Amino acid sequence: GKGGYDHYMLKEIHEQPHAIRQCLSGRVDELHGRVELEELDGLSTPKRVQFIACGTSYHAGLYAAHLFREMGVPAQTFIASEYATSPPPVGEDELVVAITQSGETADTLSALREAKARGAETLALTNVVGSSVTRECDHTMYIRAGPEIGVAASKTFTSQLVAVNLLVEAMNGNDAGVLTGLRDLAGDLQSVLDRVNVRSAAAQLAAADRCFFVGRGLNHPVALEGALKFKEITYVHAEGFPAGELKHGSLALVTEDTPVVAVLTGDDEETRKTIGNIKEVESRDAPVIAVTDGRVEVASFVDECIQIPETHPHVAPLLANVVLQLIAYRSANLLGRSIDKPRNLAKSVTVE
Q: Which residues are catalytic?
A: 347
Length of the chain equals: 352
Nearer to ligand F6R, 154 or 258 (CB): 154
In this chain, which residue has its C-beta nearest to ligand F6R? 55
Give the DSSP H/E element, type plus range, for residue 262: strand 260-264
349 binds ligand F6R (CB under 6 A): yes
Question: Least CB distance from residue 57 to ligand F6R, whole Å?
Answer: 4
The shares of helix, strand and coil residues in the chain, as percent rounded to the nearest 5, are 45, 15, 40
Nearer to ligand F6R, 127 or 277 (CB): 127
Beta bridge partners of 34: 29
List the 75-79 sheet strands across, edge first: 75-79, 48-53, 94-100, 121-126, 139-142
331 binds ligand F6R (CB under 6 A): no
Closest CA to 145 of 123, 169, 161: 161
- Distance, in Å, from the CA atom of 201 to the CA atom of 268, rounded to the nearest integer, reads 26
- 89: which DSSP letter? P
16 binds ligand F6R (CB under 6 A): no
Question: Mutual orientation of helices 219-234 and 199-206 as an angle, nearest 10°?
Answer: 60
Stretch that binds ligand F6R, among 7-15, 98-106, 202-210, 255-263 (CB under 6 A): 98-106
55 binds ligand F6R (CB under 6 A): yes
The only residue of 22, 100, 140, 234 in contact with ligand F6R, by rule CB under 6 A: 100
Nearer to ligand F6R, 196 or 228 (CB): 228
CB 173 within 8 A of CB 302: no
Question: Least CB distance from residue 322 to ligand F6R, whole Å?
Answer: 14
Nearer to ligand F6R, 56 or 140 (CB): 56
Nearer to ligand F6R, 50 or 108 (CB): 108
The only residue of 28, 35, 54, 319 in contact with ligand F6R, by rule CB under 6 A: 54
Size of the site for ligand F6R (CB under 6 A): 15
- Distance, in Å, from the CA atom of 202 to the CA atom of 299, rounded to the nearest integer, reads 18
108 binds ligand F6R (CB under 6 A): yes
Stretch that binds ligand F6R, among 99-107, 135-143, 238-246, 260-268 (CB under 6 A): 99-107
Ordered alpha helix ranges (H), the chain:
8-14, 16-24, 55-70, 80-83, 106-117, 132-136, 155-172, 176-195, 199-206, 219-234, 269-282, 316-334
- β-strands 121-126, 288-292: how paired? unpaired
317 binds ligand F6R (CB under 6 A): no
Within 197-256, the residues that bind ligand F6R by CB under 6 A are 228, 232
Per-residue binding string, ligand F6R, 160-189, x by CB under 6 A, is ------------------------------
Nearer to ligand F6R, 49 or 53 (CB): 53
Using CA atoms, how far residue 23 sits from 49, 80, 111, 123, 171, in Å, is 22, 25, 26, 17, 17
Q: Point out which residues bind ligand F6R (CB under 6 A).
A: 54-57, 100-102, 105, 108, 152-153, 228, 232, 348-349
